[in-house]
Structure 1
Amino acid sequence: MPPAHPFDTSWLRDCDSEDKLREECGVFGVINVAEAASFVALGLHALQHRGQEAGGIVCHDAEQGFNSARRFGYVRDNFTKQSVMETLPGPIAVGHVRYSTTGGKAPQIRDVQPFFGEFAMGGAAIAHNGNITNADALRRELIERGSIFQSSSDSECIIHLMARSLQRTIPDRMEDALRRVEGAFSVVAMTRTKLIGVRDPLGVRPLVLGQIGEGWVLSSETCALDIIGAKYVREVSPGEMVVITADGVESRYPFRPQKSRFCIFEHVYFSRPDSIIGGRSVYETRRQIGVELAREAPVEADLVCPVPDSGTPAAIGFAHESGIPYSMGIVRNQYMGRTFIEPTEQIRNMGVRLKLNVNRALIEGKRVILVDDSVVRGTTSRKIREMILEAGAAEVHFRIASPPTAWPCFYGVDTPQREKLLAATMSEEEMREHLNVDSLKFISLDGLYRAVGEAEGRNVACPQYCDACFSGEYPVEPSDQIEKGFELKAAE
Structure 2
Amino acid sequence: MYEMDYKWKEECGVYGVYSRTENVSEMTYFGLYALQHRGQESAGIALTDGAWMDVTRGMGLVNEVFRHQLPHMENQYIAIGHVRYSTTGSSLLANTQPLMVNYAGGKIALAHNGNLTNAAEIRHGLEQEGTIFQTSIDSEVFVNLIARSRKETIEERIIESLKKIKGAYCLTIMTENKLIGARDPQGFRPLCLGKLDDGTWILSSETCGLDVNDAEFVRDIKPGEMVVIDDDGVKSYMFGEGEKLASCVFEYIYFARPDSVIDGQSVHAARFKMGRILARESKFEGDIVISVPDSGTTAATGYAYEAGLPFVEGLIKNRYIGRTFIKPTQKARDTAVKLKLNAIRSVVEGKRVIMVDDSIVRGTTSGKIVRMLRAAGAKAVYMCVSSPPIGYPCFYGIDTSIRKELIAATKSVEEIREYIGADGLHFLSIEGLKQCVDCVHADDMCYACFNSAYPVAQGEKPAGDSKYVFEQRKC
* TM beyond 0.5: yes
Distance in 2, Cα, partners of 1:78 & 1:269: 26
Of 208, 215, 219, which aligns to 1:223? 208
Q: Where does residue 329 of structure 1 map in the other structure?
A: 314
Q: Does 1:92 align with 2:72?
A: no
Q: Does 1:466 align with 2:446?
A: yes
Distance in 2, Cα, partners of 1:475 & 1:425: 23
Q: Where does residue 296 of structure 1 map in the other structure?
A: 281
CA offset digits 1:434-466 (Å, max 9, x no partner): 1111110000001001011179x95xxxx3201
What residue identity is the alignment partner of 1:427?
S
Of 384, 403, 415, which aligns to 1:399? 384
Question: Deviation of residue 352 (structure 1)?
Answer: 1.4
Q: Where does residue 136 of structure 2 map in the other structure?
A: 152
1:363-374 correspondence runs (5 A): 363-374=348-359
1:228-243 correspondence runs (5 A): 228-243=213-228
8 Å CA contact 1:26–1:97 kept in 2: the answer is yes
Sort the Cα spacing of 1:234 and 1:454 in 2 relative to 1 into closer, same or farther, 3 A: closer
Sort the Cα spacing of 1:482 and 1:228 in 2 relative to 1 into closer, same or farther, 3 A: closer
CA offset digits 1:239-295 (Å, max 9, x no partner): 011001111000010124223211111000000001012223211110010001111
1:51-450 correspondence runs (5 A): 51-62=39-50, 65-82=52-69, 84-86=70-72, 90-104=76-90, 107-212=91-196, 213-336=198-321, 350-450=335-435
Question: Deviation of residue 117 (structure 1)?
Answer: 2.0
Of 436, 455, 464, which aligns to 1:475? 455
Sort the Cα spacing of 1:454 and 1:190 in 2 relative to 1 into closer, same or farther, 3 A: closer
Q: How many residues align?
A: 461
Sort the Cα spacing of 1:294 and 1:238 in 2 relative to 1 into closer, same or farther, 3 A: same
Q: Where does residue 34 of structure 2 map in the other structure?
A: 46
Distance in 1, Cα, partners of 2:290 & 2:124: 50
Distance in 1, Cα, partners of 2:322 & 2:465: 39
Distance in 2, Cα, partners of 1:231 & 1:369: 39
Distance in 1, Cα, partners of 2:105 & 2:199: 26
8 Å CA contact 1:59–1:89 kept in 2: the answer is no
Question: Deviation of residue 351 (structure 1)?
Answer: 1.1
What residue identity is the alignment partner of 1:165?
S
- Matched residue SS, 1:351: helix
Question: Deviation of residue 118 (structure 1)?
Answer: 1.6
Sort the Cα spacing of 1:383 and 1:223 in 2 relative to 1 into closer, same or farther, 3 A: same
Q: Where does residue 471 of structure 2 map in the other structure?
A: none
8 Å CA contact 1:68–1:88 kept in 2: the answer is no
Sort the Cα spacing of 1:99 and 1:61 in 2 relative to 1 into closer, same or farther, 3 A: same
Question: Deviation of residue 50 (structure 1)?
Answer: 0.3
CA offset digits 1:280-328 (Å, max 9, x no partner): 3211110010001111111111011001000000000000101121111
- Identical aligned pairs, as a percentage? 46
For structure 1, which runs of at least 5 residues remain unmatched after alignment?
2-10, 486-492
Distance in 2, Cα, partners of 1:89 & 1:109: 28
8 Å CA contact 1:37–1:88 kept in 2: the answer is no
Distance in 1, Cα, partners of 2:381 & 2:140: 47
**CA RMSD of superposed structures (Å):** 2.1
Question: Deviation of residue 81 (structure 1)?
Answer: 2.6
8 Å CA contact 1:137–1:480 kept in 2: the answer is no
Sort the Cα spacing of 1:387 and 1:349 in 2 relative to 1 into closer, same or farther, 3 A: closer
CA offset digits 1:27-65 (Å, max 9, x no partner): 0000024321111111011100000000111110146x0
Question: Deviation of residue 484 (structure 1)?
Answer: 6.1
Distance in 2, Cα, partners of 1:443 & 1:167: 49
For structure 2, which runs of at least 5 residues remain unmatched after alignment?
467-475
Distance in 2, Cα, partners of 1:36 & 1:54: 20
What residue identity is the alignment partner of 2:374?
L
8 Å CA contact 1:303–1:327 kept in 2: the answer is yes
What residue identity is the alignment partner of 1:428?
V
8 Å CA contact 2:109–2:173 kept in 1: the answer is yes
Of 17, 20, 35, which aligns to 2:23? 35
Higher mean alpha-carbon deviation, 115-124 vs 35-44, is at: 115-124
Distance in 1, Cα, partners of 2:120 & 2:181: 24
Question: Deviation of residue 110 (structure 1)?
Answer: 1.3
Distance in 2, Cα, partners of 1:273 & 1:362: 26
Question: Deviation of residue 78 (structure 1)?
Answer: 2.0
Sort the Cα spacing of 1:112 and 1:444 in 2 relative to 1 into closer, same or farther, 3 A: same
Distance in 1, Cα, partners of 2:423 & 2:333: 29
TM-score, structure 1 normalization: 0.90
8 Å CA contact 1:36–1:89 kept in 2: the answer is no
Sort the Cα spacing of 1:175 and 1:39 in 2 relative to 1 into closer, same or farther, 3 A: same
Sort the Cα spacing of 1:190 and 1:483 in 2 relative to 1 into closer, same or farther, 3 A: closer
Distance in 1, Cα, partners of 2:305 & 2:22: 47
Sort the Cα spacing of 1:178 and 1:444 in 2 relative to 1 into closer, same or farther, 3 A: same
Distance in 2, Cα, partners of 1:410 & 1:93: 29
CA offset digits 1:168-209 (Å, max 9, x no partner): 122211111111101011111011111101111111100000
Distance in 1, Cα, partners of 2:243 & 2:224: 8
What residue identity is the alignment partner of 1:31?
Y
CA offset digits 1:124-160 (Å, max 9, x no partner): 1111101000111111000001100000000000111
TM-score, structure 2 normalization: 0.93
Sort the Cα spacing of 1:465 and 1:290 in 2 relative to 1 into closer, same or farther, 3 A: same
Question: Deviation of residue 79 (structure 1)?
Answer: 2.2
Q: Where does residue 469 of structure 2 map in the other structure?
A: none
